[in-house]
Structure 1
Amino acid sequence: MAQKFTCVLIDDDADDQEIFLYALKQIGENIECLVFDNGKEAIANLGDRAILPDYIFLDLNMPSMDGRQCLRAIKQLPHLDETPVIIYSTSSAPRDKQETAQMGARGYVEKQPSLSLLVAKLENYFKHDQDGHLQPGLHQNTH
């Protein structure tokens, strides 16, 4: 049986959530993704240690608690120290990429205009072994 992977997506846009989830399905059926509509909801759920995701994908532009505030809060949770946080944003600004990397984000994926482009970007975080099983992939900054 293939190993299951758990991702968390923190994004307030329902359309972006749907596209992201569909892209993950294209990459592998063994990726489970928990979705939170905002940073406060995510921190409330991630803080109790019941969820230990392999990756956290985080939108920057959200109401109430923006992505930077959420990233700071995630970095305060010791049990998520090794969990890569990847920014998932419409922003292509070099300043956003640099700033979030300095804050501890391990990657940055711009929201793509097509599903195939998004799949290609997300595949950088997963790889297939010689038997075709999905494995955690890149754990480095991939701007």
Structure 2
Amino acid sequence: MKYKNILLVNDDSDHAEDFVTALNAINQKIISSVESSALEALKKLRGSKLAPDMIFLDYHMPYFDGTEFLKLLRDIKALRKIPVILYSKHSGGMLKDSLDTFKGVQFLKKQGNFSKLTEVLRNVIVPEQSVKK
């Protein structure tokens, strides 16, 4: 499995709980962590010796949005190559601008249904299993 250590940055505790539960349903060996603040996530990422393999980032966060988080993240040499997926229930113009500005950043729409969330995450995290179906 390519992505074993996953960070979710999301201020909605219900979405975060569903997300982590879905990751556990995919594979219990996935290490997941959640930060409810983009600012706190950046502080921890800067001070961490073990960077996540992938970051899921809620675009609409207090203090600063996904674009500002991505700018700051990309300024940190040790962290700039971590795959980031913007994770939002909205897909407006500002979100599209972020995707255009930060090459390689993907978008994943938040799912209201747990089984759909698990399926979508499985396709992102374990794509080779999805192809073999």
| TM-score range normalised by the length of the shorter chain | 0.7 to 0.9
The sequence identity of aligned pairs, in percent, is 30
| Residues 46-100 of structure 1 deviation map (CA, whole Å, 9 limit, x = unaligned) | 012423111000001111122221111111111112210000111133x244212
More helix by share: 2
- Segments of structure 1 that go 5 or more residues without pairing to the other structure are 133-143
CA contact (8 A) 2:52 2:82 kept: yes
1:9-60 deviation digits (Å, cap 9, x = unpaired): 1011111110110111111111111111111100100012423111000001
The 8 Å contact of residues 3 and 125 in structure 2, kept in 1 or not, is answered as no
Runs of 5+ in structure 2 lacking a partner? none
Instruction: For residue 78 of structure 1, give the secondary structure of its aligned residue in structure 2.
Output: coil
More relative contact order in 1 or in 2 (CA 8 Å, sep 6+)? 2
8 A Cα contact 1:89 1:109, kept in partner? yes
User: Given the alignment of the two structures, is residue 126 of structure 1 paired with residue 125 of structure 2, yes or no?
Assistant: yes
- Tell me which amino acid in the other structure corresponds to 1:112: Q
Classify 1:39/1:128 alpha carbon distance in 2 versus 1 (closer, same or farther; 3 Å).
closer
After superposition, the CA RMSD in angstroms is: 2.1
Offset of residue 103 of structure 1: 3.0
> CA separation in 2, counterparts of 1:55 and 1:7?
5
